[in-house]
Amino acid sequence: MRKWIMAAAAALALTAAGGCEANSVERQESPAAEPVVAAPRPTVLADEQVPYTPETLADNLNVPWALDVAPDGRIFFTERPGSVRVIQQGRLLPEPLITFPAPFISEGEGGLLGLVVDPDFAANHWLYVYHTYRQGGSTYNRVVRLREENNRARVDKVLIDRIPGSVIHNGGRLKIGPDRRLYVTTGDARVPDRAQDRSSLAGKILRLNLDGTIPADNPFPQSPVYSWGHRNPQGIGWSPSHGGMYSSEHGPFAHDEINLIEPGGNYGWPVIQGDQQAAGMKAPILHSGDTTWAPAGMTFVTRGPWQGRLLVANLRGEQILNVALDPGNPSAVQTFSVFYQNKYGRLRDVVEGPDGSLYLLTSNRDGRGDPRPGDDRIIRLRPGR
């Protein structure tokens, strides 16, 4: 099947750092394969073609990374240096929900990353977060469950730990799927071969029960590994029409990917990238060709004018991908456009709220951006213009 590939665009010219946003020592050579052929460039939507009205919900933030909305309307989000913050009734509360002490660390791409609210939050007040820490001279990541009460929280339980970490390639996205399982993305932590080692937690998408135990129906017995062969996956989402699971992933020197995730699937890193093929390995449904997106958080729109669309925040690309999938074929892309190109700078996450609003998290203070007055921000997109 022909893969859709974005051609290089002048506004997103390839830089030395590429999709991994790391230095040249991270480059991995792939085996010989058919050359990548560029497909037509995506449509670039003008602001007036976007059927949402943007407004700043919170500003002067410190590298917001992930966001989720509780049933009571409160918005919880992480700041990478180590705090979970709260927006209540449209106002950013001055005191954090929790700030993590040592052995927590925030270095490079590591720190306080993913967050998701428990589906039964109204009853149990649990949230889940992913963070980096140092132990015995080594860097790791772990997932912990928090218990919230009156806008304060404490660590209730460590669900999984000793996920390999580094200054780059930590993964870090948390989502709870339609099956009420917790999904965790992990990067290769700068050691590419870990992605092809199923005994390692690095370079994977993990699947856990909400208490941290391993689901009996995971693809590999007694293993949290759900899919493998990933370089640095940063987003997860499920199609509202057919339930298929998708992820976004940083490639080496461009070749960033959108993948359709299958249980037990091997997504090829570091053996293949882009449209390259190898026995037993899966190619993406969409990749960036020689252009760098650095795709991060993603969401499927479930209501409103863009119902069914897959939106993906881009860091280096400084835009949002807008992907329409074929309703009859979950691995086929019908149309592909981008919007808000260079409007807000680096974008770390896009999340749909329960009322159909979209939330964008900028990441201009992460050491790689060009901070603007008021950065970083959470921008709410209200349906309609």
* DSSP structure string for 54-114: EEEEE-S-S-EEEEEE-TTS-EEEEETTTEEEEEETTEE-SS-SEE--TTB---TT-SEEE
Q: How far apart are CA 189 and CA 168, in angstroms?
A: 6
Query: Hey, which residues does 323 pair with through a beta bridge?
Result: 310, 336
Cα Rg of the chain, angstroms: 19
Tens of pLDDT, residues 307-363: 999 999 999 999 999 999 998 899 999 999 999 999 999 999 999 999 999 999 999
Res 41: pLDDT: 78
Q: Is the pLDDT assigned to residue 33 strictly greater than 70?
A: no
pLDDT at residue number 280: 96
Q: What letter would DSSP give residue 219?
A: S
Strand pairing report for 126-135 and 286-287: unpaired
Q: What is the mean pLDDT of the chain?
A: 90
Q: How confident is the model at residue 21 (pLDDT cuts 50, 70, 90)?
A: low
- Mean pLDDT, to the nearest integer, of 71-90? 98
Q: How far is the C-alpha of 380 from the C-alpha of 383, rounded, in Å? A: 10
Query: 233 Cβ partners below 8 Å, 6+ apart?
Result: 171, 173, 185, 186, 187, 205, 247, 248, 249, 250, 259
Which of 134, 136, 129, 127 has its CA nearest to residue 106? 134
What is the rounded CA–CA span in Å between residue 301 and residue 261? 19
